Amino acid sequence: MFKSLKIYNLLFLRLILILLGIEISIYSFKKDLIFTAIFGLFIVLFLIREMYLYVRNFVLLYNKTIGSILQNDFTSDFSKLKFNKNYDDLFNLYDTLKNKQKEEVSKDIIYRSILNNIETGIFILQKEGNDWNIFLMNDYFSTHFDVPKITKWKYLKNHLPSLCEVIEGQDFQEIKTSLEIRVNHENVQTFVMQTSRTEICNLDYFIVLLDSIQNVVEKKEKEAWSNLMKVISHELLNSITPIRSICQNLQDLVEQDTMSAEDLEDIKNSVSTMLRRSDHLQKFVEGYRKLAMLPSPKKERIDLQYLIDNTLKIMNPLFRKNQIEVINTITFNRSINVDSQQMEQVLINLLTNCIYALEDIHNKQIFISTEAKENRTFIRITDNGKGIEKEIENKIFLPFFTTRQEGAGIGLTLSKSIIEAHGGYLAYKNEDGKTTLEVCLIEG
């Protein structure tokens, strides 16, 4: 603001000097001072020319700077003119916007680089009037679906009509569904499509994510195998490392010429320790074999009430020993088609899990309830124990994962496998400070 006033003051001063020069020239002519009058006119002409050039350069520079800003073109170099302090505000505005533009370009390059390195098909549409245009398409989508980097929605419809029909059928609203798309004119693959719509600065955007179900399954399988190998290697090392150390110690003892009573006692203790670790390793392998060789269920019709009552009779001694109150709220009877022995094993595993969860609780309670919905039967076993920590919730069904010192870590995994073999599922819930394991059986 100060510099703008300064420019106006300079222009006003030049105008005053011109008017003063004209007055002096007129006065000189009247007094017959011809030479002085002519000299005054030359001065006036010089001042007019100088003011014209000053205003012209200012307007040209102003137009060039503002034009560059409006066209988002920051390639101009004004460094030679920066010595003129009158233009500081203009140049500061230009430099500020230039730096912001560089920052935006850098961010755009980073975001696009990230999107292009994601193994998920992504494209973003931008609404212009009543039409949608492709704002961005990542490399994975372009390569995987053999689509060039087009900018028009109608061109994408020519390449992937089945995909575009689904999106248009939902009127470009948020959806999550699966669909089959022919890839590279060869084979049909199933994809999970998830879309979202957002408005930013009065601009309407529609984001589409496409992930191959095969890729999703492979990721989950790799993650499961990685977690499983960590557990297996941990268990094996926990047994093999002390056994090897003990064997080394025994080798040193037997190589001695004489053996004292103390050495003999060390040998006995070492052999006993190796037997314990070997037994633990054997149980671990047997647990793995149970998971790997789970027989197919031999289904038969059985009363749900009878199945639960029979399981509770088996578990009653443990309930009494641990002072646990079992509250059975089943109010109806229903026959289910299951392998009774396998289902009994599942219920025993779940109830045993509850017993350990109630170890440090004073008022120990286990609640058993059932619910029938159409062709689904739900069995819920709830305890008021300490619950499962958030950090390990996603690991409780992992083979050999356990938080108990003497646990094998296969109870919940085996139960989950049995229920899934019956065509159902086993889920974990934590509500109102109570832990619930829910069995869902689906009648086929």
- What's the CA gap between 421 and 424, in Å, rounded? 7
For the chain, the C-alpha Rg in angstroms (whole number) is 42
Average pLDDT over residues 260-285: 71
pLDDT(314) > 80: yes
Burial of 330 (0-12, 13-18, 19+ CB in 10 A): middle
Architecture of the domain whose range is 118-215: 2-Layer Sandwich (3.30)
Average pLDDT over residues 245-254: 72
Q: Closest Cα partner for 164 from 151, 176, 179, 186? A: 179
- What's the CA gap between 64 and 58, in Å, rounded? 10
**Residue 38 in tokens:** 């002519």
**Residue 310 in tokens:** 């029979």
Per-residue confidence at 281, pLDDT binned at 50, 70, 90?
Answer: low
Please report, rounded to a whole number, the percentage of residues in the chain having pLDDT higher than 70: 73
Per-residue confidence at 85, pLDDT binned at 50, 70, 90?
Answer: low
- Beta-bridge partners for 45: none
Residue 372, phi then psi, degrees to nearest 5: -120, 125
Sketch the domain layout of the chain as residue ranges. 2-100, 118-215, 217-292, 300-442
* Sheet containing strand 425-431, strands side by side: 325-328, 365-373, 376-383, 434-442, 425-431
Which range has the worst mean pLDDT, 26-30, 243-247, 311-315?
243-247
Residue 271 burial (CB count, 10 A) = 12
Per-residue confidence at 260, pLDDT binned at 50, 70, 90?
Answer: confident
pLDDT value for 216: 57
Please report, rounded to a whole number, the percentage of residues in the chain having pLDDT higher than 90: 2
Average pLDDT over residues 243-256: 71
Average pLDDT over residues 56-64: 75
The CATH fold assigned to 300-442 is: Heat Shock Protein 90 (3.30.565)
pLDDT value for 299: 87
**Residue 421 in tokens:** 């073999």
pLDDT value for 86: 58
Average pLDDT over residues 121-127: 90
pLDDT value for 271: 75
pLDDT value for 206: 92
**Cα-Cα end-to-end distance for the chain:** 81
**Residue 8 in tokens:** 């106006």
139 or 190, higher pLDDT:
139
- Cβ(400)–Cβ(407) below 8 Å: no
pLDDT(166) > 80: yes
pLDDT(1) > 50: no
Residue range 217-292 in CATH 1.10.287? yes
Which range has the worst mean pLDDT, 26-35, 140-149, 182-191, 349-358?
182-191
pLDDT digit string, tens, across residues 169-179: 888 888 888 77
Q: Which residues are CB-contacts of 249 (< 8 A; sequence separation ≥ 6)?
A: 266, 270
